[in-house]
Structure 1
Amino acid sequence: MRLIKQYSFFISFALPALTVSGFYYGGYGNLLTPCFVFIVVPVLDLLVGRDSENPEDSRFQEIQSSEYYKYLTYGWVFVQSVFLLWALYSFAFSALTVLESVLFILSVSLVTGGIGITVAHELGHKNSEWEQFSSKLLLLQVCYMHFYIEHNRGHHVKVSTPDDPASSRKNESFYSFYPRTVIGSYLSAWSLEKEKLMRKGLSFFHYKNEMIQFSLIQLMFVSFIFFGFNFLERGMLPTNIADYSWKSVLFFLIQSVLGFSLLEVVNYIEHYGLERKQLENGNYEKVLPVNSWNGNYLVSNALLFQLQRHSDHHANAARRYQTLRHFPEAPQLPYGYEIMILIALVPPLWFRMVNPILERWK
């Protein structure tokens, strides 16, 4: 089992490979990635089953400090960056049908949002400057760089409290949660940066304000795509604004929205209906494993770098993905994230399935 788990994380690299293959096959070939994520992985989950095995105490530090697992995430950063440039070029210079365009954009967003943000999330919690840079680079590719600030300094502090825009409430549908978390998290990131600068005696408009930095970097990246691909198409930039093509920029922005929407539906699942107790002094109890939903299907956990062991992640945020533990006392999801995402998009079905599990657990 140890070797199976060690090499299982390579399954994530199947997504860009399938997307490229489906694109060149054409037509319904662009369904390869969505079918793999939402059909093949759930079937494998049921066939392979759950994984409740935790790292042995005697080998915990060895596994935690293993360079092998770091290089897997570094490899993903490189692969996704090259993949996105390929996707932008392929979309800009190919005559795709409407159906092919829709399926291709969905496939790309499953790579950049489904796996890319997961890896960005993993790297963003680490102290290494290279890992933090890599996290920001991946978030740039879905125009969601503020997640780096809000998730680490906001969500992890306020999780499962009414003050956290990224924690969903019982009987709150995903469609009610979505605008609350997208807007609330963005505003929270600005507020957190303002507080940090004030503590240092710096102005809100100081160059060290990371939200200003992120906004400019994202604007520059979108501009690079816009002007770069217009130059590639003609060998020069048009003099008339009406002659510019918006195809590559629209592709990038749509896949970005779909990508960070995948993140937010996962946020919806991870803390649905869970609440930390408020103490007499007004503070909330310490974050515990029971403040997050846990998922333990081996295949979907491998695909998502064990993100579904979310209980341990919130209790021990600096712990690397390969050493995250299973907590049986935490509320348990009935299926992997791939199926739970589809269920969350149908609120009556979600409430009917998850509310009874939540009540029994409480």
Structure 2
Amino acid sequence: MKGLRKLGFYSAFILPALLMAGFYIGGIGLAFIHVFVFLLIPLMDYAIGRDIENLEKHEIPSATKEYFYRLVTFLWVYVQLAVLIWGFYVVTFYNLSVGEWLWFTSGMALVTGGIGITVAHELGHKSEKLEQTYSKILLMTVCYMHFFIEHNRGHHVRVATPEDPATSRKGESFYSFWWRSVKDGYFSAWELEKQRLSKLGLSLWSAKNQMILFVLAPLLFVSVFTVIFSVIAGRFVWEIPVFFAGQSVLGFTLLELVNYIEHYGMERKILPNGRYEKVSPLHSWNASQMVSNFFLFQLQRHSDHHAFAFKRYQVLDHHEDSPQLPQGYSAMIILAMFPPLWFRIMDPKLEQWKRKSKV
């Protein structure tokens, strides 16, 4: 099982392979990656079931230090950049129909947003400069670099409270949540950076303001490749900025779908001193479906992640006492896009868990 778990984390590389193979096959091939993510992975999750095995305490230090697990995430950065630049090549030199544009752009978003942001999330929690840099590069490719600030210094502090834009509320549809989380999360990142600079005695417009870099970096990135491919093609390649913007919006929408699922209806109690109780594994929905956790670097063991954010993905624990999602993220994402079905299934589960947690 342990050997399988190690190799399983290379599953993520199936997605870019499917995107590229599907494009060159053409026709229905463009839907290969979508079918795999939203049909085959849920079916495999259902058939194989959950992996609730946790590492023994004595195994954690060596597993944490094992370079293999970091190598997978480092390799992903270069693969994602290469696949995205290949995408620029495709939209420059291939005459795509509207339908092909939609399939190809959304397929790219499953790579950059579905897996890429997951890897960026993992790396962004680490203290090593190289890992933080890789995190920022991945977030740059989906125009969501402010997530590096808001997630670590905002979401993890305010999770499961009304002050957190990334915590969805009971009865709130994903579409209402999307607007609130995207907008408030962005402005929150500016405010958090303003507070940091103020403590250093620096102006908001200081060159050390990360948010300025985070706004400019994606623009510079897409501009450079637009110029390069325009020179090669002998025309202004407007397709690149349009494609880049499209896959970015779809990419960070996948992130917000995951945010919506992870903390739906969760609330931390207010203590007698007026502060919120400490974040625990009880404040995040947990999912330990084996297959989807391979693809998402155990992001679905979200309860343990929020309780112990410093832990690397390979040593995250399953918590049976946490609220449990009925299926993995691939299936739950589809459900979240249909609010009546989501409320019908998840609201009773939420209330049932709340009653159970009070016993």
Band the TM-score falls in, shorter-chain normalisation: over 0.9
Task: Report if aligned partners of 1:108, 1:255 keep a CA contact under 8 Å in 2.
Answer: yes
SS in 2 for 1:327: coil
How many Å separate the matches in 2 of 1:326 and 1:230? 50
Whole-Å separation in 2 of the counterparts to 1:286 and 1:127: 22
RMSD: 0.9
User: Which range is displaced more, 276-285 or 246-255?
Assistant: 276-285
Residue 285 of structure 1 aligns with which residue?
277
**Structure 1 contact 80–111 (Cα < 8 Å) conserved:** yes
Contact 1:271 1:291 in 2 (8 A): yes
- Bigger shift: residues 130-139 or 210-219: 210-219
Structure 2 CA distance for aligned equivalents of residues 80 and 221 of structure 1: 14
**1:208-287 equivalence runs, <5 A:** 208-234=208-234, 244-287=236-279
Q: Which residue of 2 aligns with 1:69?
A: 69
1:121 maps to which residue? Answer: 121
What SS does structure 2 have at the residue aligned with 1:277? Answer: coil
Matched, 1:322 2:314: yes
Residue identity in the other structure for 1:233: A
Give, in whole Å, the separation in 2 of the partners of 1:263 and 1:99. 24
Instruction: Identify the residue that residue 357 of structure 2 maps to in structure 1.
Output: none
Paired with 1:174 and 1:55, the residues of 2 have a C-alpha distance of 35
For 2:7, the equivalent position in structure 1 comes to 7
Task: Report the alpha carbon displacement of residue 63 of structure 1 after superposing the two structures with TM.
Answer: 0.6
Question: Separation in 2 of the partners of 1:179 and 1:17?
Answer: 32
| Partner Cα separation in structure 2 for residue 281 and residue 207 of structure 1 | 39
Matching residue within 323, 328, 336 for 1:331: 323
After superposition, give the CA deviation of every residue in 1:304-333 in whole Å (9 maximum; x if it has no partner).
000000000000101000000000110000
Q: Match for residue 241 of structure 1?
A: none
Q: Which residue of 2 aligns with 1:178?
A: 178
Deviation at 1:278, TM superposition (A): 1.3
Offset from partner CA, 1:271-308 (integer Å, 9 cap, x none)? 00000111222221111001000001000010100000
Structure 1: give runs of 5+ residues left out of the alignment: 239-243
Name 1:110's counterpart in structure 2.
110
Q: Which 4+ residue blocks in structure 1 deviate beyond 6 angstroms?
A: none
TM-score by length of 2: 0.97
Percent of aligned pairs with the same amino acid? 54
Q: For residue 226 of structure 1, report the CA deviation from its aligned partner.
A: 2.6
Return the alpha-carbon distance in structure 1 between the equivalents of residues 7 and 226 of structure 2.
39
Q: Any conservation in 2 of the 1:28–1:100 contact (CA below 8 Å)?
A: no
Higher mean C-alpha displacement, 322-331 vs 94-103:
94-103
CA distance in 1, matches of 2:167, 2:92: 38
Separation of aligned partners in 2, 1:229 and 1:333: 45
Alignment-mate amino acid for residue 125 of structure 1: H
- Please tell me whether the aligned partners of residues 154 and 164 of structure 1 are also in contact (alpha carbons under 8 angstroms): yes
SS of 2:96 mapped into structure 1: coil
Query: Which has the larger displacement, 128-137 or 197-206?
Result: 197-206
CA distance in 2, matches of 1:224, 1:43: 41
1:310 is aligned to 2:302: yes
Q: Does 1:138 align with 2:138?
A: yes
3-state DSSP of counterpart to 2:264: coil
Q: How far did 1:229 drift? A: 2.1
- Match of 1:358? 350
Equivalent residues, number: 354
Q: State whether residues 294 and 330 of structure 1, in contact with CA within 8 Å, keep that contact through their aligned partners in structure 2.
A: yes
Aligned equivalents of 1:270, 1:305: Cα separation in 2: 15
Residue 222 of structure 2 contacts residue 240 of structure 2 at CA under 8 Å; is this kept in 1? Answer: no
What is the SS of the residue equivalent to 1:343?
Answer: helix
Instruction: Tell me if structure 1 keeps the 8 A contact 2:92–2:237.
Output: no
Gaps of 5+ in 2: 355-359
CA-to-aligned-CA distance 1:125-168 (integer Å, 9 cap, x gap): 00010000000000000000000000000000000000000000
